[in-house]
Amino acid sequence: MLVDRTKPSHTNLRITLETLINLRWTAIIGQFIAISVIEFGLQFSLPYFHCLFAILCSVILNIYLEINKSRFQTIDNFYATISIFFDLVQLIVLLFLTGGLSNPFSILILVPSTISVTYLSKGSSQFIITCSVIFSTVIAFYHLPLPSPFNEVIDLPKYYKVGLWFAHGIGVSFLGNYAYQLGKDNRRRSLALSQLEKELSKERVMNSVGGIAAAAVHELGTPLATISLVSKELKKELGSSEGIKEDLNLLLDQANRCREILKDIANKSEQDKFFDFISPKELINEIVFSLDNKSNKTINILNKSLNERIKITQKTEIIYALRNFIENSLKFADNKIDILVNQNKKNVIVTISDDGQGFSNDIIQKLGQPYLSSSEINLERKGMGLGIFISKNLLERTSAKLKFRNKKNSGAEIRISWTTNQLQNL
């Protein structure tokens, strides 16, 4: 089985090299203490120096990684797989030297498999699990004697060895699958949040271009004016030469063209600054206007507000989250949704409600957690877990408070509130 080196969703595993180094140091210390107690404390017969050499290999590797860890923050799937595979092989060698699966510490074979399914790709996890099962099979029947006092040979019955092998195989497979299922939703959630952060970062970069452009206009205005002035003076003095005159005319035309471009950029920058100041109602109108309402359901925007413009610095996050909530309401509504905007001196409250069936009783207390499922949500209306989770997280970053509830008659309602000071000081 090949190790999956190219799967794109695992190029960044969010596992640091330092984490793997610390885990290996823990294993090294535990292994050294175990063989030392057996050799010098219990005085059992043990190939002590052979075991010490296996541990020394891990020590050398860890020292090398410690020296070079400043070069890496995270490691990719392939190198993480190699690292965990090395730990598995080192553990198997120690178990081979100390009794195979009859050694009580053979239960530690489960550890590399559990770590792999938590952090690695599916293909790499299967590779580690398969190797664990194969290596367990080998050391179940081929190994040095179990350490014992007075050079006594402890030879377990073959059926008992088969039972140990079977138990370890089931343990590796079951625990690996269990850990994979637990970690799968978390990995998807992390990936979704990571992609969202990238999109929001792009939006912020685009929003900052206006400020950079304004600075460029200010800085370039003076040099262009100087170029134009000098060109006119040269034209007066050297205008008799047709060749030079044409070149100077071209230079003046291009300078004027640059001045017009900078003027357009400056006007655009001023417009961007204007839209930084926006009232909550205008923000909702902007979102609703951008929606693709294919179902042609009615969207009512009700305004109980001062309609006062305020500066919202994290407008991108708020727009993304509110758009997602409005789209969800449209999906679940029968005919219409109502958006109530209530702005006063102290608070800004946005309430989104629909005339659908409302939230199911089995999920209303868990809204905001990823990958909800409900027996009452049909196939066409699936997928209300991760979107709400992301939107809730984005709004909570802006100090918003959210409440989900069902209306008395029918339909769901989402209430989002900020204090005015919170919105203005994000």
Please tell me the distance from the alpha carbon of residue 424 to that of residue 184, in angstroms, as a whole number: 38
Q: Are 319 and 283 in contact, with CB atoms under 8 Å apart?
A: yes
Give residues with Cβ within 8 angstroms of 230, minimum separation 6.
none
Report how far residue 366's alpha carbon sits from residue 370's, in angstroms, rounded to the nearest whole number: 9
Q: Buried b vs exposed e over 278-301: b needs ≥16 C-beta within 10 Å?
A: bbbbebbbebbeeeeeeeebebee
pLDDT number for residue 389: 75
Q: What architecture does CATH give domain 280-424?
A: 2-Layer Sandwich (3.30)
Q: What is the pLDDT of residue 305?
A: 66
Give span(s): CATH 3.30.565.10, the chain.
280-424
Q: How far is CA 17 from CA 22, 74, 118, in A?
A: 9, 6, 15
Task: State residue 273's pLDDT score.
Answer: 46
Residues 4, 5, 6, 12: is their CA dihedral positive or negative?
positive
SS3 280: helix
Long-range CB contacts for residues 51-59, cutoff 8 Å, separation at least 24: 51/94, 51/97, 51/98, 54/90, 54/93, 54/94, 54/97, 55/28, 55/31, 55/90, 55/94, 57/90, 58/24, 58/27, 58/28, 58/31, 58/86, 58/87, 58/90, 59/28
CATH number of this structure's domain 201-275: 1.10.287
What is the identity of the amino acid at 316?
T
SS3 assignment, position 76: coil
- Could you tell me the strand order of the sheet in which 401-406 lies? 298-303, 336-343, 347-354, 412-419, 401-406
Model pLDDT, residue 33: 93
Identify which of 390, 417, 380 has the alpha carbon closest to the alpha carbon of residue 324. Answer: 390
Rounded distance, CA 236 to CA 160, Å? 107
Return the residue matching tokens 């699936």. 382
Nearest C-alpha neighbor of 126 from the set 83, 172, 93: 172
The CA distances from residue 96 to 45, 114, 179, 382, in Å, are 14, 21, 27, 51
Pairing of strands 298-303, 401-406: unpaired
pLDDT of residue 59: 94
3-state secondary structure (DSSP) of residue 298: strand
At 330, phi and psi to the nearest 5?
Answer: -60, -40
Amino acid 373: pLDDT: 46
CATH 1.10.287 in the chain, residue ranges: 201-275
Low-confidence ranges of the chain (pLDDT < 70): 1-15, 72-74, 151, 153, 183-221, 238-243, 262-277, 305-315, 365-366, 368-386, 425-426
